[in-house]
Structure 1
Amino acid sequence: MTDTFKPTAAMADEAARGLELREKFKRGGTAVGVARARDLKNRRNLSEDTLKRMKSYFARHKVDKRAKNFGDNENPSAGYIAWLLWGGDAGRDWVKDKVT
């Protein structure tokens, strides 16, 4: 049996905020990011493979944090919304702790 990992409440909150911002501003994230956000928001158990994909996402997209309006909930960058869809900083830190 494979291990599964339950997302934290903080990750669920970040993903929910990302979904709300995406709906409001009509930008940010892909279909994969939206699906990940739904899993996180609902705190569905994740596989180790999913954790590896999350770690890879955060490694590739850490540069998005330098963009204008990253972290701005009034006029968020697309990268900020996408980052939230993947669990935000809480997701990044959690995955870093789980996947070596």
Structure 2
Amino acid sequence: MSDASDGDKDDDSGHRPPQKVQEAAQRAVKWIDEGKAGKGFTDTGEHRAHQLADGQTVDDEVIKKMRAYFKRHAVDSSAEGFHGGEDGYPSPGRVAWDAWGGDPGRDWAESQKIDGE
């Protein structure tokens, strides 16, 4: 699976995250376990990280939440520590970004067909 549209919607069970989304979330789970998520990190973010890391299918509502998350937090990518090689990497914002699937998660969520759209 190499493209954001991989992991398309299963017939009845929802949207299956592609490998690159799972890998970003797996990275976030590791960082969360290492205490790098910061004190503002939410239970929802941790749940989403585990859900995506495990390759669990998600429903249309989760796809909508992912889209909203990435729109709200796009500004986080300009903060120090968001990109590898910067001081403070991974920043709490980067940990949270990857918990939601990272850049592949953003692209995948935007590519998914939602019932009623």
TM-score (normalizing by structure 1): 0.89
1:42-69 Cα distance to aligned partner (Å, 9 max, x none): 1111100110000000000000000001
Structure 1 Cα separation of the partners of residues 84 and 32 of structure 2 = 13
Q: CA RMSD in A?
A: 2.0
CA contact (8 A) 1:3 1:48 kept: no
Task: Report the AA paired with residue 79 of structure 1.
Answer: G
| Structure 1, gaps ≥5 residues long | none
How far residue 12 of structure 1 moved from its aligned partner, in angstroms, is 0.6
Give the number of equivalent residue pairs: 100
Q: Which has the greater radius of gyration?
A: 2
Query: Is residue 48 of structure 2 the alignment partner of residue 48 of structure 1?
Result: no
Query: Aligned to 1:17, which of 13, 27, 32?
Result: 27
- The 1:76/1:26 distance shift into structure 2, 3 A limit, reads closer
Q: Distance in 2 between matches of 1:32 and 1:70?
A: 20
Following the alignment from structure 2 to structure 1, what is the Cα–Cα distance between the partners of residues 36 and 91? 11
Q: Could you say which structure has the greater relative contact order, defined with CA pairs below 8 angstroms and 6 or more residues apart? A: 1
Partner of 1:96: 110
Query: Would you say the 8 A contact 2:25–2:99 is kept in 1?
Result: yes
Deviations 1:33-89 (A, max 9, x none): 110011101111110011000000000000000000102377311100000000000
Q: Is the CA contact (8 Å cut-off) linking 2:36 and 2:90 kept in structure 1?
A: no
Percent sequence identity over aligned pairs: 33
- Larger helix proportion, structure 1 or 2? 1
Separation (CA, whole Å) in 1 of partners of 2:31 and 2:64: 25
The one-letter amino acid paired with 1:75 is Y
